[in-house]
Structure 1
Amino acid sequence: MAASIALVDDDRNILTSLSLVLQAEGFTTRLYADGEAALKALLDNPPDLVVSDIKMPRMDGLELLRRLREKSPVPMIFLTSKDDELDEALGLAMGADDYIAKPFSQRLVIARIRAILRRTELTQRPADGSAPEPQAEPIVRGRLAMDPARHRVTWDGHDVTLTVTEFMILESLAQRPGVVKSRSQLMDAAYQEDVYVDDRTIDSHIKRLRRKFRESDPEFDAIETLYGAGYRFAEG
């Protein structure tokens, strides 16, 4: 069954163009002109993923995300203006999975959608009828435990709620403790497509990862920065 993508934007041109491109890629789409129009429909019949503008009349994207997160874990990607850094930070802190700055390439949007759906196991079965890829094995590194099949992370037995992108970055680091991963390598792990993501995006995800773990353990220091090289998950 084709994955369902809800598009929420007050710009009719963006809704129409994105919808056509996504349908050509095999997705089904649902279109909404603002957050208020989308909210009830998305709660009554959740899509597989939401792509939403932030700046909209009646109900903006941040309020839509807040209301959705009260009842639904549906993944969300924000569309933002290049000068909306505060909104981007707020959206990611509230649980958005990613953001894309306008103007954007349609190829980039598709790549981000596929990366998130791949992680949440909502992509279509291969067209040739072959079996889905086997699920990744759980990862245990000291006090950290990750279950990719259930998208669950614990630290000292306490649940840590991560977005899809945060989970993929942490998984890449935890797979090989002590090994330094460059920002480019973490970009590849998080997006799994040949797309450009700037360094600031990866650094922001790392900051949020640390903050979330420190809510459970103020002494958390397992994600280390190697200045000029990248990041690593501490051994031992």
Structure 2
Amino acid sequence: MTTRILIVDDEQGVRDLLTELLEQHGFDVTAVADSDAMFSALSALPHALVVIDLRLGKEDGMNVARQLRHKSVIPIMMLTGKGDETDRILGLELAADDFLMKPFNNREFLARVRALIRRTTELSVPARRDDLSSHERISFNDWTLDLTSRELFNAAGQPLELTYAEFNLLEALVRAPNRILSRDQLLELTRGNETEVFDRTIDVLILRLRRKIEPNPRQPSLIRTERGLGYIFSAHICQC
């Protein structure tokens, strides 16, 4: 099945350029100019990735990404101008999975698109629940992380939605409990060299995770900060 990508940009020239580039490399593309068309396209056909320009003409791309994230865990890549690091940090905290600065190299854009899609393929495949005994699972506190189906469950067995970046970070933390991991180590474990990194990437993803799994995100007990060193996952781990 051909992978479909959704482009959201108010400039016709950008939409045409990205559509041609992606179609040349085997992707199906839907290209739209605003959020209304974006949500219509997503409801009509399944898409593997959404690319949103940060500076849409009549809309704030950040708000569009935030609205989408509230409705879906689909991977979001945002296109941003030079010098917008503050927006990139805020965007990662609120919604996006990756950013790419314009103007960009076509090969880098394709590599980043493929990396996001590859890392989220598992999330689009329904998990087999008839043989959970074969799943690799790790439990901590009242949570169970299923590494096979890439799902996180609370004490009642209800799944909690995580984006691909949040899941990868949590997996890295639970695989090294009670050990201090630096930002560089966590970046290598969760994002590798396929995506742009900057100092605050891990910090904002930690904030996102804390909001989802900590009893009190303002006083975290699971993911603790070791000032000047990195982060430590403080929990008793049980491999099921």
Q: CA deviation at 1:199?
A: 1.5
Query: Which SS does the other structure have where 1:22 is aligned?
Result: helix
Q: CA deviation at 1:50?
A: 0.4
Provide Cα deviations, 1:138-170, integer angstroms capped at 9, x if missing partner: 222343321244432245456543221111111
Change (3 A) 1:53 1:121: same
Q: Which residue of 2 aligns with 1:74?
A: 74
The reply on whether 1:174 has 2:180 as its aligned counterpart is no
After the TM superposition, which residues 65-144 of structure 1 pair with which residues of structure 2 at under 5 Å, given as runs?
A: 65-69=65-69, 71-84=71-84, 87-88=87-88, 91-121=91-121, 137-144=136-143
Task: Indicate conservation of the 8 Å contact 1:48/1:122, yes or no.
Answer: no
Q: Which residue of 1 aligns with 2:201?
A: 201
Query: Which SS does the other structure have where 1:205 is aligned?
Result: helix
Tell me, which stretches of 5 or more residues in structure 2 are unaligned?
Answer: 124-133
Task: Indicate conservation of the 8 Å contact 2:145/2:152, yes or no.
Answer: yes
Give the stretch that moved more between structures: 18-27 or 167-176: 18-27
Q: Which residue of 1 aligns with 2:6?
A: 6
Number of residue pairs matched by the alignment: 224
Q: Which residue of 2 aligns with 1:41?
A: 41
Q: Distance in 2 between matches of 1:221 and 1:108?
A: 38
Q: Distance in 1 between matches of 2:196 and 2:151?
A: 28
Change (3 A) 1:235 1:71: closer
Q: Which residue of 1 aligns with 2:152?
A: 153
Q: CA deviation at 1:198?
A: 1.0
Q: Which residue of 2 aligns with 1:165?
A: 165
Task: Indicate conservation of the 8 Å contact 1:82/1:101, yes or no.
Answer: yes
Q: Which residue of 1 aligns with 2:64?
A: 64
Give the stretch that moved more between structures: 5-14 or 185-194: 185-194
Provide Cα deviations, 1:182-219, integer angstroms capped at 9, x if missing partner: 323322332244444112112221122223323x4455
Change (3 A) 1:93 1:142: same
* Root-mean-square deviation over aligned CA pairs: 3.2
Task: Indicate conservation of the 8 Å contact 2:99/2:196, yes or no.
Answer: no
Tell me, which stretches of 5 or more residues in structure 1 are unaligned?
Answer: 124-134
Task: Indicate conservation of the 8 Å contact 2:135/2:149, yes or no.
Answer: no
Output the amino acid matched with 1:221. S
Change (3 A) 1:41 1:204: same
TM-score by length of 1: 0.75
Q: Which residue of 1 aligns with 2:131?
A: none
Q: Distance in 1 between matches of 2:33 and 2:76?
A: 16
Query: Which SS does the other structure have where 1:232 is aligned?
Result: strand
Task: Indicate conservation of the 8 Å contact 2:92/2:204, yes or no.
Answer: no
Q: Which residue of 2 aligns with 1:28?
A: 28
